[in-house]
Structure 1
Amino acid sequence: MENDASAVIDAKPPQSLTDPLTDPFTPPADSSLWRTNFLLGAATASYQIEGAATEDGRLPSIWDTFSATPGKVLAGDTGALACDHYHRWEEDVNLLAGLGLEAYRLSTAWPRVMDENGAPNHKGLDFYKRLLGRLKEKGISTFVTLYHWDLPQHLEDRGGWLNRDTAYRFADYADLMSRELHGLVDAWATLNEPWCSAYLGYGNGHHAPGLANGRFATQAMHHLLLAHGLAIPVLHANDPRSLKGLVANVGRGTPNSESAGDRRAAELYEVQHNAWILDPLFKGEYPQDLVELWPGTEPLVLEGDMQTIAAPLDFLGINYYFRTSLASDGAHGFRDVPLEGVERTQMGWEVYPDGLRDLLIGFKETYANLPPIYITENGMASNDEVVDGRVEDTQRISFLKRHLAAVDQAIKAGVDVRGYFLWSLMDNFEWAFGYERRFGIVHIDYATQKRTIKRSAELVAKFLKDRNARAQ
């Protein structure tokens, strides 16, 4: 998920949201969510939950290196153990099945399945085969993301995403995984949130590998998108029956005032957050406004690159979390203006469900070739505690209900949205914020690894049970 430390401010939700709510998750009778072909699932990522960072031939990733660097991650936390999913995957699959969730989005760890020479690591591959096989036995649809930020450190040592060769190594990785996991994957996503990989990793240094240079960000983005484009035909060749797509995090920007400067600032924010990725995918070009934002940072683009990047997709994954209020910076960019008196999450992010609806409708109007959409991440962090064996995450319940209503509104406006994945199945390693921020619908006691189902998960399960009964 997008996770920029600069976005965090001290804020608490309105008191009204801490009051008990009666069965707040049940959608209205005319909601599109009652359709049995609308997938409802949960998502995780390899480095955030797996642990076992040095077991069975797994190599170091850039996040192992970054989190072990003093001052980079809150409290010095690392993903070395995380949720110990590598050893507890059977328990976690049973959790998914017990809640009645219909789909599971996970990522595979590149450093776990290949050595430095590109040869397969069969112990790592066997882990994913067992996991995906059990999910299929349980009737759970499998959405697999190939890259959720854990680049092998040996590739970063050769330049990482600044090195064009990394895109070709990614295609090799996609080839291996789609051959080995053929038939076990319902949908492949090449990349998760290339905006975060490029901008937070290479533009401002808040994420691994911790570099901070505007030209680095645009070049890294180009190589990430090139890697995506090179992988798509490989996935089609090796696993033709699966869906192929990419997951993008998107941001809603609104002007802080009606001035022309603030309106332009909001437009430029959405260019940087959304069009930077979506225009190459669906128009075959980078937005011209990027030059206004970042003059002199144009990436090196070789002949044929943009056609490769714009390969047709079966789906687009959308990750959405918050809205940002923007004002002109007095030059050619924008600055954030935090609004007062609004509901915020533990991350300090504003809760703004209308932003999801507005973005989905806007994308449909902007991109004539937009494929079907899955909301591949949506959720919130809260400071959840287990009290008498229960976790009453009331704000999350309200958050989910309102964002699912926004998805329903987009569907009724003609947007082809086919599913929704809660972020996240379980509390986990939240990147630069370590283990302090809890996004899960299942609570993790990191000292004991005990899993406790939160009230939000109970209500999701109840809805799915009611929907199944209604369909019979």
Structure 2
Amino acid sequence: MKKFPKSFLWGAATSAPQSEGHSSLNGKSPSTWDKWYELAPEKFQKDQGPEHTTNMYELYHEDIKRMKEIHMNSYRTSIAWTRLLPDGKTINQEAVDFYRDYFKELQENGVKPIINLFHFDMPWWLMEKGGWETRASVDAFAYYAKTCFELFGDLVDDWTTFNEPMVHVECGYLYGYHYPAIHDFKKAVQVGYHTLMAHTLAVKAFKEGSHSGKIGIILNVSPCYPRSQSKEDLQAAELADLLNTKSFLDPAVLGTIPAGLIDCLRQNQLLPVTEANDLEEIKQNTVDFIGMNYYQPSRVQAPKEVNKPAVSPADFYDHYDWPDKKINPYRGWEIYPEALYDVAMMIKNEYKNILWYVSENGMGVADEERFMDASGMIQDDYRIEFMEDHLTQLHKGIEAGSNCFGYHSWTFIDCWSWLNGYKNRYGFYQLDLNNDQRRLKKSGLWFKELVDQNGLK
């Protein structure tokens, strides 16, 4: 038996925009997702927009009982900025009542809430003013964070500021996947910098408020594996790490922006606009813990053609398609559990062995009804195998001294996934889109046994 530490957190993760529904109701104002779906519904999977999603707004009482049934002891979701502060300043009392009851019921059922503040859902009122491109977004987010801590701090011990901040930078400003879907490296850097400062001032508000508990950030991190040990490939891996991992991880944990990243941006005329006291604020407001989302490794090689100054990250590194890879064909993602051990060692050796947990890990599969047995239960053995393989590597890292305190699967109930809608399913519970009915999958039974044993056979 591979035993995990005592009081290990076993749970699942989701977000407000992907689970709550009621996206235009109950005093909530539009996010970029609501507005983009209104403007360009053809971009979304089978016209599946953000309005209804999993309808947790109505069904959280029953869903928390389902969490308890599979013995989850923790759960991460987010607060919708647009629901709590529809105009950025005015508190929506119905939202306060909803979240307080939600969080209280989690606690009463033995499910520890870990609450995140931002999961890609930029308020439309702020987007109209420039969104993360403007410095005003930093103060707006700090005010929102302070409001959350004051309203819910008695119910929530563990907070995170952002989920995968690199995603809204890349997808919105480099690769065209999220609104505003533009390709501008200079703007992307500025957006990333303002996001970092928003995180920093949120941490500052938490510390100045003398709130109990801990505050962290959730990052999508993978060690970067070069194609070869050639000088060129190693340099590509170093630059990929600086841009994609160290850009947020170093300031959050170490309180510094890597000198190599600053030099790279300066050489390519990409340095962001900053303010005088920013570096001191970053230094003084580091996190208590880190959430690490891991799905696939990062493999790179030296680019064949380079623009100078750079116009995209492809001028620093190219993706390397490892010929020996195992792949999830539904997402097109490589399956490489060994990277989770490497993440554990990276945190131990390079980041003060800070407290951390696996905040997302899971396998998305389409058309899961193919695997339904006669009783109506989906036999998702592929998901069980995926998690067992990753947990084996995580256990190895913990045994080697890495300070990991939990593991959260993505996700509890099949949830809405941005432009992909419900194409790929990840949940322990199947969601019927026709009637919101939830049905337990085989992986949910396996997870219950995992929690009860606090370990793997």
Q: TM-score, normalised by structure 2?
A: 0.91
Residue identity opposite 1:375 in structure 2: V
Change beyond 3 A, Cα 1:397–1:276: same
CA distance in 1 between partners of 2:158 and 2:339 (Å) = 26
Cα drift, residue 132 of structure 1: 0.4
Query: What is the aligned partner in structure 1 of residue 312 from structure 2?
Result: none
Cα drift, residue 418 of structure 1: 0.7
Pick the aligned partner of 2:275 from 290, 294, 302: 302
Cα drift, residue 239 of structure 1: 5.9
Q: Does 1:417 align with 2:404?
A: yes
| Contact 1:183–1:239 (CA under 8 A) maintained in structure 2 | no
Query: What is the aligned partner in structure 1 of residue 311 from structure 2?
Result: none
Cα drift, residue 380 of structure 1: 1.3
CA distance in 1 between partners of 2:419 and 2:282 (Å) = 30
Query: What is the aligned partner in structure 2 of residue 7 from structure 1?
Result: none
Query: What is the aligned partner in structure 1 of residue 30 from structure 2?
Result: 60
Query: What is the aligned partner in structure 1 of residue 45 from structure 2?
Result: 74
Secondary structure of the corresponding residue to residue 400 of structure 1: helix
Query: What is the aligned partner in structure 2 of residue 357 from structure 1?
Result: 341
Pick the aligned partner of 2:381 from 389, 394, 403: 394
Q: Deviations 1:125-150 (Å, cap 9, x if unpaired)? A: 11111100100111111100011111
CA distance in 1 between partners of 2:223 and 2:143 (Å) = 35
Secondary structure of the corresponding residue to residue 344 of structure 1: strand
Q: Does 1:435 align with 2:422?
A: yes
Pick the aligned partner of 1:262 from 224, 230, 233: 233
| Contact 1:198–1:220 (CA under 8 A) maintained in structure 2 | yes
Q: Deviations 1:110-130 (Å, cap 9, x if unpaired)? A: 000113150100111111111
Change beyond 3 A, Cα 1:337–1:305: same
Percent of paired sites with the same residue? 29
Query: What is the aligned partner in structure 1 of residue 256 from structure 2?
Result: 284
Q: Does 1:127 align with 2:101?
A: no
Residue identity opposite 2:439 in structure 1: T
Q: Deviations 1:390-436 (Å, cap 9, x if unpaired)? A: 11111110110111111111112221111111111111111221210
Q: Does 1:98 align with 2:81?
A: no
Q: Deviations 1:261-315 (Å, cap 9, x if unpaired)? A: 2232222222222111112222412452465478121111212212223413211
CA distance in 2 between partners of 1:318 and 1:44 (Å) = 14
Query: What is the aligned partner in structure 1 of residue 310 from structure 2?
Result: none
Residue identity opposite 1:137 in structure 2: E
Residue identity opposite 1:246 in structure 2: I
Cα drift, residue 177 of structure 1: 1.1
The worse-fitting range, judged by mean Cα deviation, of 380-389 and 100-109 is 380-389
Residue identity opposite 1:343 in structure 2: K
Structure 1, gaps ≥5 residues long: 1-28
CA distance in 2 between partners of 1:464 and 1:219 (Å) = 43
Query: What is the aligned partner in structure 2 of residue 445 from structure 1?
Result: 432
CA distance in 2 between partners of 1:319 and 1:286 (Å) = 22
Residue identity opposite 2:320 in structure 1: V
Query: What is the aligned partner in structure 2 of residue 334 from structure 1?
Result: 317
Q: Does 1:150 align with 2:121?
A: yes
| Contact 2:120–2:168 (CA under 8 A) maintained in structure 1 | yes
Query: What is the aligned partner in structure 2 of residue 344 from structure 1?
Result: 327
| Contact 1:170–1:231 (CA under 8 A) maintained in structure 2 | yes
Q: Deviations 1:306-364 (Å, cap 9, x if unpaired)? A: 22234132111111110132221133521113234532222111110111211221233
The worse-fitting range, judged by mean Cα deviation, of 111-120 and 134-143 is 111-120
Q: Does 1:44 align with 2:14?
A: yes
Residue identity opposite 1:178 in structure 2: F
Q: Does 1:454 align with 2:425?
A: no
| Contact 1:344–1:350 (CA under 8 A) maintained in structure 2 | yes
CA distance in 2 between partners of 1:287 and 1:105 (Å) = 33
Structure 2, gaps ≥5 residues long: 307-314
CA distance in 1 between partners of 2:112 and 2:91 (Å) = 25
| Contact 1:324–1:338 (CA under 8 A) maintained in structure 2 | no
| Contact 1:66–1:210 (CA under 8 A) maintained in structure 2 | no
| Contact 2:13–2:411 (CA under 8 A) maintained in structure 1 | yes
CA distance in 2 between partners of 1:173 and 1:305 (Å) = 20
CA distance in 2 between partners of 1:239 and 1:106 (Å) = 23
Residue identity opposite 2:435 in structure 1: T
CA distance in 2 between partners of 1:117 and 1:251 (Å) = 34
Query: What is the aligned partner in structure 2 of residue 382 from structure 1?
Result: 365
Secondary structure of the corresponding residue to residue 194 of structure 2: helix
Residue identity opposite 1:298 in structure 2: L
Query: What is the aligned partner in structure 2 of residue 24 from structure 1?
Result: none
Q: TM-score, normalised by structure 1?
A: 0.88
| Contact 1:179–1:239 (CA under 8 A) maintained in structure 2 | no
The two structures, once aligned, show a CA RMSD in angstroms of: 2.0
Q: Deviations 1:25-81 (Å, cap 9, x if unpaired)? A: xxxx2x342x33211111110111111011111000011122332443233321111
